[in-house]
Structure 1
Amino acid sequence: MVMQEKLTLIQSYIQCYNAFDIDGLLALLSDDIVFENESGGEINARTQGKEDFRNLASQSAALFSERQQTTTNIQMHNDRATVDIDYRATVAADLDNGLKAGQVLELQGQTLFEFNQNKISYIKDIS
């Protein structure tokens, strides 16, 4: 898989994410996709396989009325990529963790991608 194909997969993933296009996201992923979310040095979410990913993505999408990931830097390493991300989202409804409807979140983080057979096979969001 050449670098341009990997970059296209990453760009498509971010476009689908921003558009709440879960079916579009799933089309970019390998059947055995592993997703992890790391916050404060701890893994707080992990999925394996497309159905688990779909469930988590659907739950996450419902939390926000809008969301935007913006790529600030991409580093490619063979079948891996490290993407620096600026993230902005608006909370859709009051949440148990104290976030209120309409509150805007702004974060910076990284997303790690791995690729296998022209698909994304691993994603780790770090904030």
Structure 2
Amino acid sequence: MRASAEAAARRRHRDAYSRGDCAPSDTSPRPRPAGVKSAVAHPGAPITLPQAGALAGGIALYLVVNTAVRRTFRLTPNAPRLVAAALLLATVRLGTTVSALAQVAATATVLAAAFTYEARRSPVADFPRD
């Protein structure tokens, strides 16, 4: 039984690597800088829908793909990352109507809240260091 559990774990790890371990880094950084560049150039002005979508969509896509990889390794919790991804898409309206700075601030707030909730909910055990 132990051998089959180890074989299943090896398959999960192999599958995660082949199907998307590199996907978050390959997909997210490309759309995000387009939105950040616009936000930095004119922080007080509203940005266009494609720019606001790139800013929020790149980070949301990263969180969704990261959650898929985490599920493969049975890492939890994943719900805060999916909720954050949905909330990030809602920040597009801030970018197009208020300002790029408002969207960036809302993005930072959503990410901070999600990761703070995650850290408090499932603290990582401290392992002995060499």
TM range (shorter): under 0.3
Higher helix share: 2
Answer with 1 or 2: which has the greater Rg: 2
| TM-score, normalising length: structure 1 | 0.26
